[in-house]
Amino acid sequence: MKVQTQEILLRLLQEERVWRLFEIRKLDAMVAHAKGDDKALALRAGTALLYAHWEGFVKKSTELYLGYVETQLKAKRVHYNQVSRNVLAVVLRKKAHQASSSKRIGTFLELADFFHAEYADRFGVSLAGSISTAANLTPAVLVEILATLGIEVCDDSITDRFEALDELVADRNSVAHGEHIVPPAKVFSERVQLVLSMTEWVQGALVDAASTNAHMLVR
């Protein structure tokens, strides 16, 4: 998806987050007002949906950011040797993946050509499909995704939340696999705040990366 300016990127990120916030808050209220067996059902269903919004926002927002990066690099006719290490790593991963699925020497010669000649060419690779949340969006997977974008997670206020995120993923998996687990209402409410704050942080990190030209070798 082409995202031509920082202003458009910010608007799209906000739109992607706002509708999720509305659903999450409605969900939180529904769980809070549910009684008896309905409470347990709401907590189980709510856990699955809360995780879905966490994974969905991270995947969609990072794809939007890469759409912005790709649009900028191509519009400004940037060369491969001018992009940041992480963008170049994404390009090399794509080319290596294409080569690994073939036994033809020609495919590997194309990869060699990139190092010999194309490295000085204009950027022309699609970055679509570069983000994967794997089977579960655990903190380790989140760190890997952000590293793909050149974003480091070094803030203790963020890493301190990783254990709680792992627990959300674990309970979501239990629910998804048909196990009868019911998270305590207090824990669910804390997880709502966790997802709200983490999606806000991810959005801010992406906006900061765009504003500082994190995709460029020299900013």
pLDDT at 116: 65
| pLDDT tens digits, one per residue of 54-109 | 999 999 999 999 999 999 999 999 998 899 999 988 888 887 777 777 777 777 77
Domain positions in the chain are: 6-77+130-211
Burial readout 60-73 (b: 16 or more C-beta within 10 A, e: otherwise)? bbbbbbbbbbbbbb
pLDDT at 23: 97
Nearest to 30 by CA among 193, 190, 185, 191: 185
pLDDT at 77: 93
Report whether 65 contacts 57 (CB < 8 A). no
pLDDT at 34: 96
The model's confidence at residue 25, banded by pLDDT at 50, 70 and 90, is: very high
| pLDDT tens digits, one per residue of 135-150 | 899 999 999 999 999 9
Of the listed ranges 48-52, 76-80, 91-95, 172-176, the least confidently predicted one is: 91-95
